[in-house]
Structure 1
């Protein structure tokens, strides 16, 4: 089988939906127009069980199959990013400083396409829960939806999600058993010294010199404090200090991100950041505090469900266009909370060449929307066939 014909025929409609979403981006949990658009489409499809206001603006819709059975969850994220768009497309963002720079408009469109097909055919047993999630971009909407009980409330037994992947072969799927995306943490180091005249540094306790020392020492965490075969990224992404060329400031700030897969590595990095901060601060005669904040956990695919997802992808695009053991990447995803709550799998769908995610000129490739929608639809039909469960 290939892309479902009736979904392929929806191409112009999918494109129109996606372009509307792209023109109307919203951030984090505040998605009234986006959620309203989703609910309006679902009602047009004849779906009557629609639950709104989950995690503020999230939506869960239920489609009943033709026979009793379990419930499979399909998730799409809906939120945009605080970026000024420069793509130049005719349907560019109409909201200054906000744009769909990660393709969540396309993810929502793919799930809507699957919803229309599944509502019309209902060629499956049990139920499908369509999960339209807010606040993936830093708000942890996936965690909030899980905390608000969607897995138990809707009796979801397994769950699947897709993310587009620019500069991977268009229409090809990539997944892997076990960890596929990293845990993401942040660190914030506040340094307090004593400011003064730039010509008289001996009368100051320079927080900038301390910040440079702390920054250099932090690099040894990866190179000297952990086993080289365990994936770890520690990146300083912010240094703020000073206001004029001839003034040594009184304070400085160093911040950054940590990406790990192993909680033991996570613990080690948190400990070493604190030790380095305190030790370097003492050596420079300043005081400093390090705040370490744990964010999204690692996104870990259930091995059996990842293998099943790869089979579904092969059903849609052919075995030659599916990589079932693609390996890990150091990005992060709050779909991790859903996978911690229920077995399932996360996949990447190649979008072809173009600007990378979170770039101001990024745009989702409409050609892959029918492919993603077909994956979602076939996952339901193959996981919960009318003649008994497969996956």
Structure 2
């Protein structure tokens, strides 16, 4: 296929009103992780109407829409997430959430709509040779036992083989329509640590008869500041943040226990192991030094998201063809947030892409956030062109 026959943004111009309508409908009716039944039905009905072979209930409310054109043996997967967040929306939009306490504050409504736009375009033009699997995933926001884990466990790649897999997330603070690419580690592993310090309660006026868990916890918090500063190579990146410290209920009572909760981020498996080992050692030793005990629950979250070299370079070239090199950032800076797309990349080569949501706009997980509709046709054209290029006869 010649260069002129691959999808352009202009090819999606007529689809813009429909895409706006779809995105606003999904935004108006958000569903939390594991609850995406109506969103999945809405998406599946459209895909089936466009001629896709749709498999429902993959790993929960997950969908896979497959379309084969020609005889090419190559296969490609493209994924969008569908779930919302437990946030009270404060946008004031006429299509704001009708479900109090539930909101699409991360743009998954936009991600789903972008992939639906590409799905319709691919079904209409059929300018590729091979098989595309469009993966609509639930429960990305779950933090553990997520939709990616469940879909993989339900035989995603055995049932729907993919030579490579691609995904996308919007990025507030970067100009709208600007793509970001980084080979290797792009997004951090995210772990949660819960620590219960058990001391001995008593009267505030007789501290020598008690073991004060507040003092122990305070010492632990300060000691943890040395983990990144003194145990991690300065050329590596890591974060240890104590976000919660709870203890006591009265000023004249030394409480029996205290609870610390922390978020731990890293960009390599080796650093991740170092962080866990040092956190456990510091918590145990500090507690013992004061005569207390500590119960540690180290909860592994999403792994490091590592983009493969060849697929990242391929996706970058597609973006440059589509919007021009002036609208492409490569390498894109590492992101301390985490993403369960990382699990797919442990199974297959691929690339997770960032797409600018606009400068001066609310950040992700903010009650005033909204996906930028200017990205609907840009994103849909990108996915369409990527599939056409990946499954072109020239690449066979």
TM-score, normalised by the number of residues in structure 2: 0.95
User: Which residue of the partner structure matches residue 83 of structure 2?
Assistant: 79
Deviation at 1:90, TM superposition (A): 1.0
SS in 1 for 2:232: coil
Say if 1:236 and 1:257, in contact at 8 Å, map to a contact too: yes
User: Which residue of the partner structure matches residue 181 of structure 2?
Assistant: 175
1:21 maps onto 2:26 in alignment: yes
Number of residues of Structure 1 aligned to a counterpart in Structure 2: 388
Provide the C-alpha distance between the structure 2 equivalents of 1:184 and 1:197, rounded to a whole number of angstroms. Answer: 39
Alignment equivalent of 2:374, drawn from 367, 373, 386? 367
Provide the C-alpha distance between the structure 2 equivalents of 1:344 and 1:33, rounded to a whole number of angstroms. Answer: 29
Alignment equivalent of 1:247, drawn from 230, 253, 256? 253
Q: Deviations over 1:289-344 (max 9, x none)?
A: 22212111111111010000001111211111111211311111100111111111
Provide the C-alpha distance between the structure 2 equivalents of 1:220 and 1:121, rounded to a whole number of angstroms. Answer: 58
Provide the C-alpha distance between the structure 2 equivalents of 1:64 and 1:249, rounded to a whole number of angstroms. Answer: 65
Provide the C-alpha distance between the structure 2 equivalents of 1:262 and 1:179, rounded to a whole number of angstroms. Answer: 8
1:232 maps onto 2:238 in alignment: yes
Provide the C-alpha distance between the structure 1 equivalents of 2:129 and 2:73, rounded to a whole number of angstroms. Answer: 5
User: Which residue of the partner structure matches residue 126 of structure 1?
Assistant: 130
Q: Deviations over 1:142-163 (max 9, x none)?
A: 1221121111211111010010
User: Which residue of the partner structure matches residue 303 of structure 2?
Assistant: 297
Provide the C-alpha distance between the structure 2 equivalents of 1:268 and 1:192, rounded to a whole number of angstroms. Answer: 25
Tell me which stretches of 4 or more aligned residues in structure 1 moved more than 6 Å.
none
Deviation at 1:370, TM superposition (A): 0.8
Say if 2:8 and 2:385, in contact at 8 Å, map to a contact too: no
User: Which residue of the partner structure matches residue 340 of structure 1?
Assistant: 346
Say if 1:73 and 1:129, in contact at 8 Å, map to a contact too: yes
Deviation at 1:261, TM superposition (A): 1.6
Provide the C-alpha distance between the structure 2 equivalents of 1:41 and 1:4, rounded to a whole number of angstroms. Answer: 22
In structure 1, the gaps of 5 or more residues are none
Where in structure 2 are the equivalents of 1:303-382 lying within 5 Å? Answer: 303-353=309-359, 354-382=361-389
SS in 1 for 2:265: strand
Deviates more, 1:61-70 or 1:341-350: 61-70
RMSD of aligned alpha carbons? 1.3
User: Which residue of the partner structure matches residue 5 of structure 1?
Assistant: 10
SS in 2 for 1:252: strand
1:55 maps onto 2:62 in alignment: no
SS in 1 for 2:355: strand
User: Which residue of the partner structure matches residue 154 of structure 1?
Assistant: 160
Deviation at 1:247, TM superposition (A): 2.2
Provide the C-alpha distance between the structure 1 equivalents of 2:187 and 2:232, rounded to a whole number of angstroms. Answer: 19
SS in 1 for 2:74: strand
Provide the C-alpha distance between the structure 2 equivalents of 1:252 and 1:45, rounded to a whole number of angstroms. Answer: 57
Provide the C-alpha distance between the structure 1 equivalents of 2:203 and 2:98, rounded to a whole number of angstroms. Answer: 47
